[in-house]
Structure 1
């Protein structure tokens, strides 16, 4: 693929960007929670037999390696789980953003061993899904403020964002495997 033309935006967003529905329904929430619930198994299946060489394949030019995507998902989903708990226990908390690109370059973000990150994903998702399935209409409307974007987000919207995030990064891994990291 080195000499071929490719659309960098399609490589960045292989499933497109998240689009919030005008009205979030129970059907949306059920599908989104299901995507979050199934993510640990899907990422395990995609990565369980990969060699170190394959874990180092990138999904687009200047993109992360598969191993960095796995480590990022552990980091990101820990942060999201904490943000949900903050929103459920505080009034409109201002959450703490983090520099995900810089985290991806730390030693635990570039490690060839993704075992611990997959364990984190399994554990965080088990607790997160338990929490998500318990939320009523009132809790789903709770808010937090993201200071990096200056946006106020409802928990129901963030469920959709993270369902998208799961599928987005699964598609990145599938893309790296499809092209064998040849960008």
Structure 2
């Protein structure tokens, strides 16, 4: 659990490093019409973090709360991620992660096992939700690298 908490705390730095020095053209490049640009990935990661921070807090504060997901592709389209400010979202992501740090620093084993339930009946503990947040960033860092590879292939 300690390793998950440490990596969770480095998530913002990992995102920043992944896009450091990338041109705006590359940040906006979409490998296919139905694929996300790096810009859109960053906005998505932040929107996902907003909801996930809420879920984790609910699990710690309420008894077996109901948890919700969102339609990520619909959010990309309906919220017009292309016109949103990437830097503001990176700052918001960092703030959300920092806001969880004191909670993580004082988390007990009992709290880590508290859970919440999704409408389909699946139950997740706080520990599982935290692990998923770490895996989520890892997955999107790999996605950013794939988009970068696709962009470089078009430049050759």
Same fold (TM over 0.5): yes
Alpha carbons 1:36, 1:125 under 8 Å: kept: yes
Number of aligned residue pairs: give it. Answer: 154
Query: What's the secondary structure of 2:21's corresponding residue?
Result: coil
Structure 2, unmatched stretches of 5+, are: none
More helix by share: 2
Structure 1, unmatched stretches of 5+, are: 1-28
Distance 2:105 2:13 in 1: 18
Q: What's the CA shift string for 1:25-71, capped at 9, x where partnerless?
A: xxxx1221122111101111222432221112236773211111100
The equivalent of 2:141 in structure 1 is 170
Q: Structure 1 residues 175 and 145 mapped into 2: Cα distance closer, same or farther (>3 Å)?
A: same
| RMSD of equivalent CA atoms | 2.1
Query: What's the secondary structure of 1:144's corresponding residue?
Result: strand
Give the ranges of 4+ consecutive aligned residues of structure 1 lying more than 6 Å apart after TM superposition: none
Cα distance, 1:94 vs structure 2: 0.5
Aligned 1:129-168 pairs, distance under 5 A: 129-147=101-119, 149-168=120-139
Q: When the two structures are superposed, what TM-score results if normalisation uses the length of structure 2? A: 0.88
Cα distance, 1:137 vs structure 2: 0.7
Distance 1:150 1:181 in 2: 43
The equivalent of 1:85 in structure 2 is 57
